[in-house]
Homo-oligomer: A and B are copies of this chain.
Amino acid sequence: MECGLSPIVGFRFSLYPMADDFVSVIKGALEKTDTSNVWMHTDDVSTVIRGKQIHVFNVAKAIALHAAKTGKHIALSGTFSAGCPGDTAGDVYLNRSEEIANTDATTQYVSSQFALYPMNNPEYMEIIYREVNRAKEQGVFNESMHYASGIHGDIHEVFAFYEKAFSNARSEEHKHLVMTVSMSINSPTHGGL
């Protein structure tokens, strides 16, 4: 049994290029991303990465950014998770330093939606409202909607918001946190910033 707040964060996601050559877009994005700091496994529906939080978010952003650079309309949809009581301690690279491996700062507009699910926590609605308010303060809030909140802006600001929200919504008392994120890039329906 692990004690304290487990450092293992995971992200199960799918990258969806809306293009006939989707295989090459996916493979290209994965090849251009330095994934050496995370454990990674791909099946026929999705890919999961696990490791320290800083590396999981860094790798997720890099995959989206590299796919975006093809100019194709792509989507990235997935679930960040930490602290699940049913989780195992394996399949994770926790001996890595805090130094991120992907540092490409290219700007890229992203329109996205997210939902926070702090598990087994009677105060969970307050946590959700607090993070949505923080999005408004930081200028990345797009719109309210049923079951999610719209977050948009430059990919680096959007991912920074999500990583902070994920940190803020976990606690020693309430370890199990889930956050769904769905993002759309290079969509013909985007007006942009």
Contact = CB atoms under 8 A, between A and B. Distances in A.
Interface stretch (A17-25, A58-66, A98-106, A161-169): A17-25
A5 to B, nearest CB: 18
Interface in A135-157: 143, 145-148, 150
B16 A19 contact: no
Interface size class of A (residues with CB under 8 A): 35 or more
Given A18-B18, A20-B20, A45 B147 contact: no
26 contacts: A12-B145, A12-B148, A14-B77, A14-B184, A16-B75, A16-B77, A18-B19, A23-B188, A44-B184, A44-B187, A45-B75, A45-B187, A46-B113, A46-B182, A48-B147, A50-B146, A77-B77, A79-B147, A85-B125, A91-B146, A117-B117, A117-B119, A119-B119, A119-B124, A120-B121, A120-B124
